[in-house]
Structure 1
Amino acid sequence: MISKKKKSYEVDVDDGLEKEEDAREDDSSSEETDDPFAEALKEDAEEEKAEADNEVEEEGGLDTIRSYLKEIRKSPLLTFDEEQELAKRIVKGDEAARQKMIESNLRLVVNIGKRYINRGLPFSDIIEEGNLGLMKAVEKFKYEKGFKFSTYASWWIRQSIERAIINQTRTIRLPVHIAESINSFMSVLGPLIQDLGREPSVEEVAEKMDVEVEEVRKIRQIIRKTYSLDRPLGDKDENSLKDIIEDTAILSPAKTTEGIKRREEIIKWLDLLKEMEKDIILMRFGLDGCEPRTLEVIGKQFGITRERVRQIEATSLSKLRFITNKRSIKFEELL
């Protein structure tokens, strides 16, 4: 829940959720009428919307959400020159400038936070973590490098949210040496982001950590798998891909073989999806042998928006649940 103490820095759930629901409805209306999954997906969507509304009401109600959004919109977005001026004042200890920089970027936290809904944390907690990342970005931003603040802050916001989700939902116990490697990896990213004004490449991180490029790739893959495998297969389903696929990077050879068989079983079910749906699920969860890709990367590959990718992902996961349920198969049976 959002505390009064931090109210000036914190964000409530945004009414962009309603816009996303509208987009989903518009999207579903354009689906082919002979799609055998259409009716089931429509029922799923209605039930999920009702559950989402209930969750929102438990956290303070839709009125509170809209009220907060209305409040944060009073703070105008900043131009590049305004960001630079505020940053100069912040360096000198100007608290008013710091407050303005934060308040003017609260909507950025909301926009990023929407991507993590139903990922294991209440939305209010997601926003709180995102705001902590925003404040860290304000603290560490070096205006003299000439980078746009939102580009720099986005990474800190995402990192803060994802770290919280991993800590909250992860049940996989990582070996100590892997945990240490992850901590080392995370510790060098911040300074590199600051120096480069963008997310560094694998090669740049490897050079900073003084390790082989392949080692960095493995670390990134473990981090992304731990996060993505904890994501539920749709808003209603408590099961996640982690319930089906174990992280083979930390399994014995015997269990690795079992994991491969489970992956083959999943691929069989994916073959029942449309080609684009299958490809997006493979890419999002790294089931194609590569690292999981972001919505933006996938969108560029297919020539569609990241929001459209998210919608297709959600629809595909719902279809997977529908397919297995129709065959009286539970996800646990694939373990």
Structure 2
Amino acid sequence: MQDREIDEPAEAEQIKDEVDGTASDALKLYLRDIHKTKLLTAEQEKELAGKIDLGDMAARDRMITSNLRLVVKIAKRYINRGLPFLDLIAEGNLGLIKAVEHFDVSKGFRFSTYGSWWIRQSVERSLMNQAHTIRLPVHVAEEIGRMKRKSGIFRKQMNREPTLEEVADAMEVELTHVRHLMTVTRKIFSLDQPMGERGDFFLMDTIEETSALSASDRIEGVEAYELVSGFMESFTESEKKVLTLRFGLNDHEPQTLDSIGLSFGVTRERIRQIEANSLRKLRRLLQEQDCEEPASAADDGIRSASPSACCTHPPRPALP
């Protein structure tokens, strides 16, 4: 799906409460600059991809600049994860460049479907390497970001700071939920406080690295699933339905081969054959698309039906 047009002034206004003043000004300038380049049509993507395969650097540059707004849209999801927003954009741009270099238009997919995976991977890996030692679960970080946005809107409308009750009303959540988010936020920021007589180190420097599941680890399968779902569009209806029911995609509960066979009116063995053939086709498509890393993550990705599924769904059956 082609990414929507980004309204440069509105986009900068929406997130200015989540970045510092200097970054907000720089962001406005950046959005104004990238807004000058129009998004590409499907035919234009095909034409540019063909030229890129022949080594046309001008075509490569145009493909990159025409998709910079896609990077901004994706980078917004990672605000308040430990890196400044402009740094998130810069890391996403590196992923965009890799996506342009690997894109194969002959597979029939729009660039935004393929490029989004590379952009997200670049941002997430940067967060793993550079962000705080203690990382928030994805849903908590998103809720903190939503709390800040609602608070910012209230400040603009009422010219004062909102109470916790008013924030809870704006978010349509319980007051205890807002209090929990405020507590988590205070704990995170306290890690950045300078320590020692000369303030030459931070509290977070004294915390030992652990093997706890990071935010990017939690969402890796979800991001892979979004890429996999694009490939599944070329499957037959029976193949898509079997995979959907077998692995609990799209909010379905995972089902056994026997139960799926009953709904189809065929034997358990026939469902197993459809499942095996569908998975072989999926892996082949991933390999042909020249995305080895998405292929390695496909088994996790196909098990995730929504951003919350990676933490709440029961274990899926192992892929053959």
Range of TM-score over shorter length:
0.3 to 0.5
TM-score normalised over the length of structure 1: 0.41
TM-score for the superposition, normalised by structure 2? 0.43
The structure having more radius of gyration, on CA atoms, is 2
